[in-house]
Chains A and B, each alone.
Chain A
Amino acid sequence: MSAYRLQQLKGHIVPGNKITAMAGSPSPLTTHVLNTAMGVPCSNMALSLYRQDPSTNAWSLITTGTTNVDGRCPGLITKQTFTSGVYRMHFETAQYWESIGETCFYPYVEIAFTINDPGQKYHVPLLLSSFSYSTYRGS
């Protein structure tokens, strides 16, 4: 399911949550998507953040967004809602490459990660080309 469609659904299901950049304190979870083939940030890439319910293992959509011109997406989550748990970030990579006239080996990229200490800041970048990608816990 594309992130755009998810964004539509979220609007029906979760009233009142801001999807785009929030004023106030910055998100404790950030990302940065870079097009390593062309040496530019991946701008206008759709992404979404999910958290897994520990008792049912079901995933809930927390937010959707689109990277800005610098490949970043501020306001992913607030400090208040950032609890310990397993999260998953979904990046619409093929959609991005198609929008610049290219194909991508990866229809999407999902990075699942565990947050044990929500008091810390977590930076989860994605370095991406048409046939490779990498990620790391950054700062």
Chain B
Amino acid sequence: MTSADSSPLTTHVLNTGDGVPAAKMDVSLHRLESKLMIWNMLSVGTTNEDGRCSGLVSREAFSPGMYKLRFETGSYWERMGQNSFYPYVEVVFTITETEQRFHLPLLMSRFSYSTYRGS
């Protein structure tokens, strides 16, 4: 498993409703196989106490294409004993420059979320 430093793609999930990192949330990374138009799961992990999930993809495996980060937000809120408007969150993005680093945080509450390309 690659270390947090070496994955060119990182995320950070924050529970903006409670003002804490979203720990123990399941996150998966997928890439679209463009000929068959199906999603291949590249990795699956769980956020740590700081809301981060290391080793999403290695530099070698990080080829240009369409990717999807899926966050199991509904399960997260259920575990907190609360409901949420969103059963899950999927962020689909296009990677063309694979030598760059991509930091895609998710700021979420029970009734809102936002994402952006950070650093």
Q: Give the bracket for the number of chain B residues in contact with chain A.
A: 20 to 34
B interface, over-half SS: strand
Residue of A107, A116, A134 near B66 (CB, 8 A) is A107
Instruction: Considering the complex, give the chain A residue whose CB is closest to the CB of B32.
Output: A107
Considering only CB atoms and an 8 Å cut-off, how many residues of chain A contact the other chain?
A: 22
Contact A134 B115, beta carbon cutoff 8 Å: yes
Q: With A132-B115, A135-B113 in contact, do A108 and B85 touch (Cβ < 8 Å)?
A: no
Closest beta carbon of chain A to B68's beta carbon, Å: 9
| Contact B116–A132 (Cβ < 8 Å) | yes
Rounded to whole Å, the gap between the CB of A125 and the closest CB of chain B is: 10
Q: What is the CB-to-nearest-CB distance from B29 to chain A, in angstroms, rounded to a whole number?
A: 15
Contact B86 A136 (CB under 8 A): no
Interface centre among B83, B85, B111, B116 (most CB of A within 10 A): B85
Interface: A86 (CB within 8 A): yes
